[in-house]
Structure 1
């Protein structure tokens, strides 16, 4: 889980604070001291994690791209310059750009925002950004929530009393809520001094960057391990009284098998390279054999260990965590039913390995005969539309296939209430009709015009029916050569 450190370098960070009645420091100096403490901790305990450093005022600047070299990060901190007013919105937009460019939108990321609680002034201030949230066009949307999973930690170089004297705390809490709510706001307790800022960053380390120590067991063998990033508790929504479930610190290997998303680090004895270590043995075996090991993380909670190459010379032992439950992988069946082939009444793989017991077939058959059309990504919808157009260009030879694909898309669009799709496909068919060559069969133009007309009629009539409290449940279309207008309507009054 990479980390982006967002450092406020506006003029308000240069406000002086008296430290122990002697030398005068700026708030920026306190923030740099706290970040150095965080980087030293990560260099010792999170060596495989990537961290980036950004500075912002009215604009943002990427000082250090994602790196594992914490000396570079600390050196960049010591060379910070002072700029103008605070503009948190532009900084968050910068974070979104940098993370998506490096990791995409699927990788979870942690954002550490270090500021003095000053919201800025005028247009571009956090106060102004939050007040105008509901009056923005699609081209000027607020960058939160990020398109990737995020945990935001706001480190305020100010005490709670100072933040509550203005509306700074309320605005920061709203900022945290917009980010998804996963994170926390930290402020300094007591006077602004080195001891207070150390305590504040210490709380951040305990909350978000403390290593997860566990013991990996396999029979009489065991090994101390650390898991990075720290496994998060899981809450099962289907339970009557949901309770967070946490990964046990005693992890048992139950067999060779399969994995998901957390990194394993060897213990200090392994790093020394002098003591035998089961973790090294397991990692090497899985890497050479190309296998995975099934592990039990808690009561009816499983995962798997496997080797993943970080480069040509380096590889890591990875842990993938399954969803809690006895059957996390439906095709695998119950984990508790797995066992050695020698204990089975007959070899489930056959005498010549000519069959397999997997995937496990469900005992209850599905109540429907065919798959439902689902568009999860834009590419799936584009493929279906292109398939219709390909068949449309081969009319009348592909008339049956053309109407089959068209009805499938039409039924899904009506089920989803996607009236614009019907109108758009109708426009495409009309365009194809105008592009037909002179040598095309006359029936091709007839079929395209008929299909486009019926799609437009469905999109207009259906939207009107919805306004009047009616909805089409299903609607099928046949070509004009087969009794022109055959519709199967199932109209259900909305309650």
Structure 2
């Protein structure tokens, strides 16, 4: 998950802050110190994430494009210049341009906005931007929400009392709400000083940039691993009172399965899994998805050159063409697999399935799977010529009658025209006519589309009047009968509007 750091370099950031030792610092100096602390943490724990640095006042400037070189970010943050007034809307437009150009709309991104809480003055200020949200033209809309998934963190080099004395806090909360609400506002706790700013950035690190350490188990083997990016809690919408589910720190491999059998499963997110003991310098790589990472770590690169189960697992999955099913929590599973970025680069990846006992219907319940050795006969055959998947459901479903769905007007028009074509060929197409008529009738009743029944009834009455002299006498009787039955159904009469009721042909003396 790439990060964009937005640094406020307006004149209000140059306001002095008195320290206990008599040294006078600017708010900008405190913010730079906090960002250096963040970059040092990311260099140690999030080396594989991309980060960009932007500065803004009334205009914005991309100081460092997305990179993994945290030395370049620290050098750029230490040589900031001072500019004019604050314009947060302009900075957000800049974020939108930079992220879309580099990652597109599908990649989630974190935005860290560092400011002193000053909203700016006059036109272009945050206050003015939020007041004019509904009076804007289409080409001048406010940049939030971004077209890509976003988490916004606003760090104010000011305490809450200072922000609440004006309407700054209220406007910043509205800004966070417009971004999607998936973020947080951090303020300085207590007097403004170096120590309190460090504590504020520490809260951000704990909340958004704390590494996820876990232990990967497979029978008697285990390995300490680190997961990038940190798995987010998941809410199951079907639950009455959903409780966020989190990936537990003990990841247990419950079995292995061939890649062909698991196919391309729907997943919530993808994460990189690395042995914690691996310690190698990460070279600057080109841009790409967050999951495109460094070369496969080998046993010789592990600290102490000791055997590592994670490296063994990665190599085995890569050679055998299999994936490992891993349990993430109660009735929650995922899979571990080798992903090759190129001929020389491959990574051990983990994909999270939807919570539940059977996230992949063609595998059935994962808890019902077992080793091939315990089966009465090899389900793959002697020469791997067959597969036990997809698992057939116990109850055989009938698909003889398709469900009628009208998404577009053309679909409804086609069904009505089919009835009219058969109506003009009565009595030869008697069976087909009533079959299509009943199918349309049931769909209209299911949707509460009473007007459709009346409309088709009028069309059938019109067809009756347009019958040629050479038409069979039975055609007129059947059309009048069908039109009358549709009108009775549209009147919601309990007898004729019943869903199970079918319109049957009218008995006449003309039938042979």
| Closer, same or farther: CA 42–289 of 1 in aligned 2, 3 Å | same
| Structure 1 contact 300–325 (Cα < 8 Å) conserved | yes
Query: Is 1:235 aligned to 2:232, yes or no?
Result: no
SS at match of 2:334: strand
| Closer, same or farther: CA 245–492 of 1 in aligned 2, 3 Å | farther
Superposed, which structure 2 residues align to 1:98-137 within 5 Å? 98-137=98-137
User: CA shift at 1:158, angstroms?
Assistant: 0.5
What is aligned with 1:388?
none
| Structure 2 contact 255–371 (Cα < 8 Å) conserved | no
Query: Is 1:283 aligned to 2:286, yes or no?
Result: no
| Structure 1 contact 54–64 (Cα < 8 Å) conserved | yes
Query: What is the TM-score when the length of structure 2 is the normalising length?
Result: 0.73
| Closer, same or farther: CA 217–132 of 1 in aligned 2, 3 Å | same
1:250-290, Cα deviation, whole Å (9 max, x unpaired): 11011124675011121126641512111111112222333
What is aligned with 2:273?
264
| Closer, same or farther: CA 371–77 of 1 in aligned 2, 3 Å | farther
Query: What is the TM-score when the length of structure 1 is the normalising length?
Result: 0.75
User: CA shift at 1:14, angstroms?
Assistant: 1.1
In 1, Cα distance between equivalents of 2:165 and 2:400: 62
| Closer, same or farther: CA 69–492 of 1 in aligned 2, 3 Å | farther
Structure 1: give runs of 5+ residues left out of the alignment.
376-380, 382-405, 413-468
SS at match of 2:232: coil
Alignment length, in residue pairs?
Answer: 408
| Structure 1 contact 471–493 (Cα < 8 Å) conserved | no
Larger radius of gyration: 2
In 2, Cα distance between equivalents of 1:106 and 1:473: 44
Superposed, which structure 2 residues align to 1:246-261 within 5 Å? 246-257=246-257, 260-261=269-270
| Structure 1 contact 411–474 (Cα < 8 Å) conserved | no
Could you tell me which of 303, 306, 318 is aligned with 2:337? 306
User: CA shift at 1:411, angstroms?
Assistant: 7.1
User: CA shift at 1:160, angstroms?
Assistant: 0.6
User: CA shift at 1:241, angstroms?
Assistant: 2.2
Structure 2: give runs of 5+ residues left out of the alignment.
279-300, 416-448, 468-478, 493-512
Range moving further from structure 2, 335-344 or 202-211: 335-344
What is aligned with 2:411?
408
In 2, Cα distance between equivalents of 1:355 and 1:320: 26
User: CA shift at 1:135, angstroms?
Assistant: 1.9
SS at match of 1:139: helix
SS at match of 2:305: coil
User: CA shift at 1:240, angstroms?
Assistant: 2.3
User: CA shift at 1:370, angstroms?
Assistant: 4.2
User: CA shift at 1:350, angstroms?
Assistant: 3.8
In 2, Cα distance between equivalents of 1:492 and 1:118: 64
Query: Is 1:62 aligned to 2:71, yes or no?
Result: no
Superposed, which structure 2 residues align to 1:75-154 within 5 Å? 75-154=75-154
| Structure 1 contact 266–279 (Cα < 8 Å) conserved | yes
In 2, Cα distance between equivalents of 1:474 and 1:266: 69
| Closer, same or farther: CA 172–323 of 1 in aligned 2, 3 Å | same
Structure 1 stretches of 4+ moved >6 Å: 371-375, 473-478, 483-494
In 2, Cα distance between equivalents of 1:131 and 1:111: 23
What is aligned with 2:37?
37
| Structure 2 contact 227–271 (Cα < 8 Å) conserved | yes
SS at match of 1:112: strand
